[in-house]
Each structure stands twice: as C-alpha cells, then as structure tokens.
Amino acid sequence: MEKLTKEQIDKALKVLKMPADSKLVTHLNACVHCGLCATSCMYFIALQNDKYIPARKVELVASLYRRYCTLTGKIVPKLVNARELDEQMAEEMIDILFGACTMCGRCVKHCSIGVDIAYVVRVGRQMLAAMDLVPATLQATVDAALTTGNNMAIPTEEFVDTIQWMEEELMDEMDDKNARIPLDEKDKHFLYTLNPREPKFFPLSISAMAKIFYAAKESWTLSSKMYDVTNYGLFSGNNEHAAVIAQHLYDEVKRLNANTLVLGECGHGSRATRWEGPNYLGMEYDFDVITVVELINDYIRSGRIKLDKSLIKERVTMHDPCHLSRNGGLESELRFALNNSVSDFVEMTPHGFDNFCCGGGGGQLAMSEYNDRRIKIGEIKAEQIRKTGASIVVTPCHNCIDQLTQINHTYKLNVKIKSIAEIVADALVIEK
C-alpha cells in the first residue's frame, strides 16, 4: 500500500471527529471486550480465527477514536490500545471491515452490551472510503450505478430487449395480448424496481412479478433506465455516492409521476432505499415506499390475487435476507406470503431475526478477492438448508439467490432457489 497522505488521514478522522449525533460516540465507548459476540459471527464460526471476533472489528475503529479523540488515548495510548492510522492499520481495516463482515448485524442482537457492531463497521468503511481505499471491485459496482444507472452497467437497449422478451412470454402464458410489462409509462400507481441481476441472469423473476401484477389488475410500470433498487454505496461507505444513487430512484418516481415506489426483491436495496435513502438525501420522501413482499401480501389479504397452496407440493424453506428481517422488520410479512403459497413450509434453525446471513451480503458478492471466505462461510447456511430437508429455498433477495446458488452447487444441496414472486406466481390461480 502507498503511504497515506495527511489529507487522506484528515478526511478519515473527520468521520470520527464530527459525529452527527450521540450514536457513534456511544457505540465506540460501549464495548467491554467480553468476547461473547464471537460465536454469533459466521466468519468466526466458519474460519475459527480470533481476528474475526466482532469485538475486534469494533476495536479497529474504536482504537482510532481513542487515539485521536480522547485525552487518555493521546497521553497513554498503550493503556487503552489507541492506535495510529497508518498503512498497516488501513490494510487491516480493509481486510477485516470489507473482507470479513457482511454487515448482517447478527452479532448486534447477541452483544451483551448492545453495541451496534454493523454500524461501527459501516463507519470504518466510511473512513476507508474517505481515503479512497474501497476495494476496486466494490467501487466498480458503485461506479457502474453512478454512471449508467444500474450496478451491472446493462445498456438500456439490452434491458428493453429483455423486458420485451419477457412480455411476449407473459402474453403467451396468459394467452392475453393485454398482459403487459409497461415501460416508462407515466401516472401509474406503482413504479416497480429490480435488482439488475434479474434482467441479467434471472429474467423469469421479472415475468413472475408481472404475472402477479396482471392477476391483481395493477397499474404499474418499470423504468427503462432507473430501475435499479440496489445501492452499493451502503456497503462502500461513501455517503455521497449513496445519495446520488438514491437520488436516481427519487427523481424517476417524480419523472414518471408514480404514487408509490415498490422495492424489488433485494435485501440491501430495500434497506438502502427505504430506511437509508431519505437520510442520504436529508429529506423525507413525499411518496410511499414499500417492498414487493408487502405489496404481494396486500393482494393476498384483499383477495386481489388467489393462490392455491396445493399446487406446490414440495417442501419449502425460507432464507431471511438480513436487511429485510433483522434490519427491516419484515420477518412476519415474509412468512405470511409463504404460508399462503405453499403447503409444506419448514423453518430453518435459527431463522427470522436470528437467521444466519447467506454470506453474500455486505458487498461480498462484488468483491471477488474474498470469494474463498465467502464460500466457506456459506457452509453454515448450506447446513441449515440441508437440515430442513427442503427441496425449494425461497428468499426475496437476488443477492442472496446468487450466493445460495453458489453454495447449492459447492455443497451439493440439490435444491431449487426461488424468489417470493416466483413461488407466489407458481401458486397463482388466474381467473379470466
């Protein structure tokens, strides 16, 4: 690593020295190093290395805080392990905060004090972002979203072609020329968003959701340019980039004059847009924002769609995306959708708020340099799935689907991985 400049260090320390509220100061002062968080972290469990203990992740940031922001740390740094921000420290931070944490927040619940460890990790990433030290692979994903409007840099023509192809498939399946996937239509009730992995790798999930919209006779549209629900600024730690990406969707809702922004099946994207987006932009949204799971549940509750559970006879289990369940409050909603769609639903152990991350969160899927670790920690999820005896794993997150697909292959689980829209569409009864 090149020598850090004073300007880089000053920018990083500014993150610590100018807290917006009492949250940062609280969490940097609260850890007592009891070490009881270790067994709640999948990196520690799977890799059995002390450096992955969540408290040590907190300590990386807290030791800098003590060195530069406390009198004790300045006078007797050795007493409180107050460390200098130098190249060695920065390298350690990159390896641990980017490469060994999915920011899933499981350790937060189990921390004996209540330190928001995932939040502190995000602050550490913010410091690295301020020094331009975000791993190039992750930064490339952010840059793609900033310059093209979607994190996979899918050209508009290619996206439109895919949507038109899916629309033709839908028309054939429904035997109805009015079964459409609207693009860029103004004044619709819903603007629906996607994870770019859908048009790129899983286009059938788009037609599955279109089928649900068709059955519910919904007024909706997709955007041909700003449809990306993801926001990797959440993971890179760069709030300015995160704000630009959040602004893309905000502006698109306004341009198309939609009433409600519907967040496609993406855990972190839902979090980044619904919970963090308004904070990145520093304003309340003047339109509704809901996840597609809540929307589907509204259709089920109101009778706008009808499902036949008996159509899916295989055993089904659910993987809770961390940013929808633990960090998004949708644990019960996810189960409502599934319980109404399948006849044999079995939970993983643990599940819901306590569920293990799949291993693909925190930007890990984008950072290929940490692939080996990511696949290794995925073994925990693989064992959870195996123990359920399920042949279908449902998860409303396309990043999770990608990671689950890889661990399905690596650990030979022989399961099918589906999104919520796909499983609901499979159970859908179309009344003509």
Residue 414 touches another protein, criterion: CB under 8 A: no
Residue 320 touches another protein, criterion: CB under 8 A: no
Q: 């009015």: which residue's tokens?
A: 178
Residue 256 near residue 190, CB atoms below 8 Å: no
State the Cα–Cα distance between residues 152 and 347, nearest whole angstrom: 33
Residue 110 touches another protein, criterion: CB under 8 A: yes
Candidate segments 33-41, 167-175, 302-310, 367-375, binder of another protein by CB under 8 A = 33-41
Beta bridge partners of 394: 318, 418
Q: How far is the CB of 23 from another protein (least distance, A)?
A: 5
Per rule CB under 8 A, count of chain residues that contact another protein: 65
Please provide residue 18's backbone torsions phi and psi, each rounded to the nearest 5 degrees: -120, 65
Q: Contacts with another protein in 281-300 (CB under 8 A)?
A: 281-285, 288-289
Nearer to another protein, 36 or 183 (CB): 36
Residue 37 touches another protein, criterion: CB under 8 A: yes
State the Cα–Cα distance between residues 368 and 74, nearest whole angstrom: 38
Element (H, E) at 345: strand 345-346
Residue 78 touches another protein, criterion: CB under 8 A: yes
Residue 262 touches another protein, criterion: CB under 8 A: no
Among positions 112, 349, 371, 410, the unique one binding another protein when judged by CB under 8 A? 112
Among positions 162, 219, 224, 279, the unique one binding another protein when judged by CB under 8 A? 279
Residue 372 touches another protein, criterion: CB under 8 A: no
Enumerate the H helices of 201-238 as residue ranges.
203-215, 233-236
**Cβ contacts of 161 within 8 Å, gap of 6 or more:** none
Contacts 24+ apart (CB under 8 A), 12-21: 12/85, 12/127, 12/128, 12/130, 12/131, 13/64, 13/68, 13/85, 13/127, 14/130, 15/123, 15/126, 15/127, 15/130, 16/61, 16/64, 16/65, 16/68, 16/69, 16/123, 16/127, 17/68, 17/69
Residue 89 touches another protein, criterion: CB under 8 A: no
Nearer to another protein, 248 or 323 (CB): 323
Residue 242 touches another protein, criterion: CB under 8 A: no
Among positions 33, 74, 254, 387, the unique one binding another protein when judged by CB under 8 A? 33
Q: Contacts with another protein in 133-162 (CB under 8 A)?
A: none
**Length of the chain measured in residues:** 432
Question: Dihedral, CA atoms, 272, 14, 365, 100, nearest 10 degrees?
Answer: -120
Enumerate the H helices of 70-135 as residue ranges.
71-75, 87-93, 106-110, 117-130
Residue 420 touches another protein, criterion: CB under 8 A: no
Candidate segments 26-34, 170-178, 258-266, 365-373, binder of another protein by CB under 8 A = 26-34
Q: How far is the CB of 284 from another protein (least distance, A)?
A: 5
State the Cα–Cα distance between residues 116 and 139, nearest whole angstrom: 25
Residue 229 touches another protein, criterion: CB under 8 A: no
Residue 34 touches another protein, criterion: CB under 8 A: yes
Residue 182 touches another protein, criterion: CB under 8 A: no
Peptide bond into 396 cis (omega under 30): no
**Could you list the residues that contact another protein (CB under 8 A)?**
19-23, 25-27, 29-40, 50-51, 53, 55-56, 59, 71-72, 78-81, 108-116, 119, 274-279, 281-285, 288-289, 326-329, 331-333, 336, 353-354
